[in-house]
């Protein structure tokens, strides 16, 4: 910045007070001299205007057509322009409770504002312009209309048009569904249907038998089987477990042999659980047989080697090898005499039996496993009250459940003196047991015990078969025809 020279002194000229006063007056009033009056513009020529004490906050225009605002020696804001600019930006403060105003200004009617991040940076706190949102914002707020996509943008659809878009048929607006509305295939049992459209086929699909259509049940409708217990023992009463247990009827008696008479009584060999034992004795040489008819609950039975048509147990004298006492029935003695209930609540289409069991909580399981659960009536009452409100689940009656009581009642001769005798089980999956079962089902008047004694050879060697504990499984073969 240059200072104007107001007077030049010649050599030897004396500087007077008037000269000094005049010069100082001119300096004070001349904006281009030492002072910078507010009424004059100032050309900084690209230099910084320092604003703070330590000199690191400034305004600079050292680049053409750009103003830099620096704080702590860093350009925090730069204001640029373009050639022939007509639009700009207004920043307006606000009073309490109002928003600040950042507004476009200029001669254009419509002025966009673009915010450009650097690199992979994004704009946070703002929703950038989106064509989909713009389309939605432009839609009318029509009552009961739906916003849907038409493949290119968002549009409004009425309820009727929306149902068509969703592929819904007339059932979507029906208050009730009746037979005339059904046009699909029969709903499978697995999906809650019956798998058929006729009553007969539905019963078959659901595993229902002929009883499903009966109003009353007669003797011929019961799925009954028969079993026999026999003895030739004349010295003592023999305790025998009947096959039917809680599902059995009272026995019929038969004696074979010359002058044989028999004794029968309810067994005194009872424990803490209900049992269906009787005692038999032949008073003379011969055989006494008690036959019991019972209702089958959960056949078939399989100990691991195949389905068993007939369970045959025998007490064999170790010296003579003769069969003294026998048991023959399509069910083992533990099936209906033990504490485990193996009766089915219902059957599926393939004949598998199921029971409905409550879904027990861990607390109820612990209660059920207490040692005094069986003997404490109040404890069982509390248990039964608790399970009334529990949901049920279908549990298949597996072979594991059916054979659960086998260790408790491994054979039908418990309570007898078996010294010098052996309890055996005849090969349960042999064709011979199938033959004997067919003879029993025919209702032959001949006792199976007599058939075993007269027509079978009983093996001496144990077979590799699954059987009850303490019972030897042996072979049994028909004797050759003479």
Q: What is the pLDDT of residue 318?
A: 94
Tokens of 160: 């009727």
Q: What is the pLDDT of residue 1?
A: 44
Q: What is the mean pLDDT of each run of 10 residues along the chain (482 residues)?
A: 58 72 62 54 80 89 86 88 89 89 90 88 78 86 88 89 84 77 75 80 74 74 87 88 90 78 59 76 85 89 96 96 95 93 85 88 89 88 89 92 95 94 97 92 81 93 96 96 78
Cβ count within 10 A of residue 319: 8
Q: What is the pLDDT of residue 270?
A: 53
Tokens of 359: 């879904």
Q: Can you give the pTM of this predicted structure?
A: 0.58
- In order of 316, 328, 426, 434, 477, the CA distances from 431 in angstroms are 22, 15, 11, 5, 9
Tokens of 33: 């001299």
What span, in angstroms and rounded, lies between the C-alpha atoms of 349 and 195?
11
Q: Can you give 158-172 as a three-state secondary structure string?
A: CHHHHHHHCCCCHHH
Tokens of 402: 């059916």
Q: What is the pLDDT of residue 46?
A: 79
Q: What is the pLDDT of residue 33?
A: 46
What span, in angstroms and rounded, lies between the C-alpha atoms of 335 and 243?
8
What span, in angstroms and rounded, lies between the C-alpha atoms of 293 and 295?
7
Q: What is the pLDDT of residue 31?
A: 46
What span, in angstroms and rounded, lies between the C-alpha atoms of 249 and 244?
7
**326, burial (CB in 10 Å: exposed 0-12, middle 13-18, buried 19+):** buried
């Amino acid at each position: 910045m240059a200072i104007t020279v107001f007077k030049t002194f010649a050599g030897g000229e004396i500087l007077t007070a008037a000269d000094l006063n005049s010069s100082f007056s001119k300096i004070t009033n001349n904006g281009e001299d030492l002072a910078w009056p507010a009424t004059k513009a100032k050309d900084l020529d690209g230099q910084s205007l320092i604003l703070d004490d330590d000199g690191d906050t400034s305004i600079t225009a050292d680049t053409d057509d750009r103003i830099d605002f620096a704080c702590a020696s860093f350009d925090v804001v730069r204001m640029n322009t373009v050639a022939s600019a007509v639009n700009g930006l207004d920043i307006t403060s606000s009073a309490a409770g109002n928003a600040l105003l950042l507004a476009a200004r200029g001669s254009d009617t419509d002025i966009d504002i673009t915010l450009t991040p650097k690199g992979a940076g994004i704009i946070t706190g703002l929703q950038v312009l989106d064509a989909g949102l713009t389309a939605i914002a432009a839609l009318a707020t029509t009552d009961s209309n739906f916003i849907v996509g038409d493949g290119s943008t968002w549009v409004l659809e009425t309820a009727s048009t929306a149902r068509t878009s969703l592929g819904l048929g007339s059932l979507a607006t029906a208050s009730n569904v009746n037979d005339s509305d059904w046009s699909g295939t029969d709903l499978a049992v697995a999906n809650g249907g019956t798998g058929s459209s006729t009553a007969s086929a539905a019963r078959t699909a659901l595993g229902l038998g002929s009883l499903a259509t009966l109003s009353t049940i007669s003797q011929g409708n019961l799925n009954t089987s028969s079993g026999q217990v026999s003895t030739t023992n004349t010295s003592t009463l023999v305790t025998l477990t009947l096959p039917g247990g809680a599902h059995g009827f009272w026995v019929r008696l038969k004696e074979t042999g010359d002058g044989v008479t028999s004794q029968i009584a309810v067994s005194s060999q009872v424990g803490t659980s209900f049992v269906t034992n009787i005692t038999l004795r032949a008073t003379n040489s011969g055989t006494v047989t008690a036959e019991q008819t019972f209702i089958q609950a959960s056949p078939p039975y399989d100990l691991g080697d195949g389905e068993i048509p007939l369970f045959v147990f025998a007490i064999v004298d170790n010296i003579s090898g003769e069969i003294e006492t026998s048991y023959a029935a399509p069910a083992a003695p533990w099936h209906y005499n033990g504490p485990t209930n193996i009766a089915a609540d219902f059957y599926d289409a393939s004949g598998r039996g199921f029971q409905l069991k409550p879904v027990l909580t861990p607390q109820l399981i612990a209660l059920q496993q207490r040692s005094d659960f069986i003997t404490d009536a109040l404890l069982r009452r509390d248990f039964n009250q608790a399970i009334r409100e529990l949901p049920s689940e279908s549990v298949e009656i597996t072979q594991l459940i059916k054979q659960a009581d086998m260790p408790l009642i491994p054979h039908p001769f418990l309570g007898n003196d078996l010294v010098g005798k052996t309890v055996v089980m005849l090969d349960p999956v042999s064709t011979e047991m199938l033959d004997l079962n067919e003879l029993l089902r025919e209702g032959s008047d001949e006792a199976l015990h007599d058939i075993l004694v007269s027509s079978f050879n009983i093996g001496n060697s144990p077979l590799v078969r699954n059987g009850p504990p303490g019972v030897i499984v042996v072979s049994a073969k028909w004797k050759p025809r003479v």
